[in-house]
Amino acid sequence: MPLKKFVTCTIIRLKAYQIVDFINIDSNTIDHEGIMMFSENPVAAIASFSAQYDGLMHSISRETSQYGYAPAEGRIMHRLRGCPSTQANLRKVTQIERGQLSRAIKSLKTKGLIEISQPPQGPWPAYKLTERGWKQLLRVERARYDAISRLLGQMLRPERKAFIDALENLGKLRFVDAGTDEPERWRTAYPGEVSQIISNALDFYRGPFPFRFNSQIEGYVLRQFAEVCDRTHHHIIVYERHGCVVGSILLFVDQKKASARLNGLWGAIGFTDIESTAGMVKLAMQRAASAGCINVTARIPNNIAWPNVFRTLGWTFAAKEPQKIAGAELEIETWVKQL
């Protein structure tokens, strides 16, 4: 099997939770410009971690299964964290078989964990998490934090040392410049189930856990998907600055309606600067225009920085609506732009 294919398949199997680093990588080991590529063979480090990781995740799955929904239902719940989705889109990104998906959706609706989004976002109903669903999801996340901390604590010392050594080896892989002078790189990646897991994983490792992910590792994962995954009309636009990933946007393109929608924007709130955020939005507009879109819509959390970015780029404010998530009152703004 070719090395690239093997590495990619391995990352997918690991579900990206292992792409973290609890040590600080010496900046001297990183070339800060260009596409980063391994100068050392990464297969051994990834495979070594795999054996430790798989056992740990299996134990966590057993401990969190008590919360009342099957794996397929859990995948749907996690997918709906970002935005409402139709059944067809859920099937595409989760790869759940059609009949199993229908049963899972029916079960989640019966339990009051999801509901049809209002107002409708198209000809087909879109599902979203209910407040009860958000609370359930947060309970499971907290249970996962607790389970991992507890299970690591229960490991025998040699076993725990092997686990940490494997993480450390993964984090110490060196990168070399691929031959570009561009200080900033934009890439796209297919946002299927695996990239959703990556997003969840990165959020997870920002939480109360003994390890902390390193942005260089995050960047490696995103670049891997940009390099090897098929490009479709659904893109994750990743913004890199001096070798570090500083933001991303999920872009949905609907050529039938000649429209595009931005979701999952993050960057202005604590992760990057306004200039980088504006750059991400500009590229999303270019991609949408290249795909033949006439209109672009963005739904963003109300924040002092966001309106300035969109207004400066010629977007028009359309609406603001309150949304209650897990007991918290949020204001979601809708901005539109004609290309």
**CATH code, domain with 158:** 1.10.10.10
For the chain, 339 residues long, give each residue's pLDDT as a single digit of tens.
Answer: 443 333 333 232 222 222 222 212 222 222 222 222 232 333 344 444 444 555 555 665 665 555 555 667 877 887 787 678 888 888 877 767 888 889 999 999 999 999 988 766 567 788 988 988 888 877 776 666 566 566 656 666 666 566 555 544 544 433 323 333 333 333 333 333 333 333 333 333 333 333 333 444 444 444 443 443 333 444 555 555 544 445 556 676 777 788 887 765 543 333 445 666 777 788 788 878 887 888 888 877 666 556 678 888 899 999 888 865 434 566 778 889 998
| Domain count within the chain | 2
Are the C-beta atoms of residues 130 and 122 closer than 8 Å to each other? no
Distance, CA of 172 to chain centre: 23
Is residue 221 in a domain?
Answer: yes
What token pair was written down for 72?
A: 């397929």
Distance CA 227, CA 236 (A): 13
Is residue 178 within 8 A of residue 217, CB to CB? The reply is no
Number of Cβ atoms within 10 Å of the Cβ of 254: 15
Tell me which residue range forms the domain holding 123: 57-166
Burial class of 1 by CB neighbour count within 10 A (0 to 12, 13 to 18, 19+):
exposed
247 in any annotated domain? yes
Place of tokens 């960047």: 219
Residues 86 and 221 placed together within one structural domain of the fold:
no
CA-wise closest residue to 216 among 180, 243, 176, 189 = 243
**Residue 209, helix vs strand vs coil:** coil
Whether 32 is covered by a domain: the verdict is no
Asked if residue 28 is part of any domain, the answer here is no
Same domain, 97 and 240: no
In this prediction the pTM is: 0.37
Q: Looking at the structure, do residues 132 and 240 belong to the same domain, yes or no?
A: no
Q: Say if 114 falls within a structural domain.
A: yes
Whether residue 320 contacts residue 331, with contact meaning beta carbons closer than 8 Å, is answered with yes
Phi first, then psi, for residue 208 (nearest 5°) are -75, 80
Are residues 279 and 155 located together in one domain of the fold? Answer: no
In degrees to the nearest 10, what's the CA dihedral of 226, 232, 237, 243? 10
Residue closest to 167 by CA, chosen among 220, 219, 211 = 211
88 vs 126: CA distance, rounded Å: 9
Q: At what angle do helices 71-79 and 193-205 cross, to 10 degrees?
A: 80
Angle subtended at Cα 251 by Cα 230 and Cα 306, rounded to the nearest 5 degrees = 150
